[in-house]
Amino acid sequence: MARAIWNGVVIAESDATIVVEGNHYFPPDSVNREYLRESDTHTICSWKGVASYYDIVVNDAVSRDAAWYYPEPKEAARRIAGYIAFWRGVKVEP
């Protein structure tokens, strides 16, 4: 069971993550959305498409753009559509 932890809180937990380029992408329903806040940040991956981001907020602490997902990925990445990955201090335990 993979877990994403930040600031002592489990943000996501699933035994059905998809690993792409070393990142665990968590199914949308396995993420505790009370800790996510929409961000205006977007980036482009040449083969996955346009990524959208969330800030992670736990109590008064914020990790900006620490989670990302592809709402409408390119065909090559369609299996991770809507799945959420983490970085910027979020510890993912496989």
Q: Give residue-wise pLDDT tens across range 65-92.
A: 999 999 999 999 999 999 999 999 999 9
Q: Which of 55, 78, 69 is nearest to 23 (CA)?
A: 69
pTM of the model: 0.95
Q: DSSP labels for 28-90?
A: GGGB-GGGEEEEEEEEEETTTEEEEEEEEEETTEEEEEEEEEBSS--GGGGGGBT-EEE-TT-
Q: Give residue-wise pLDDT tens across range 32-60.
A: 999 999 999 999 999 999 999 999 999 99
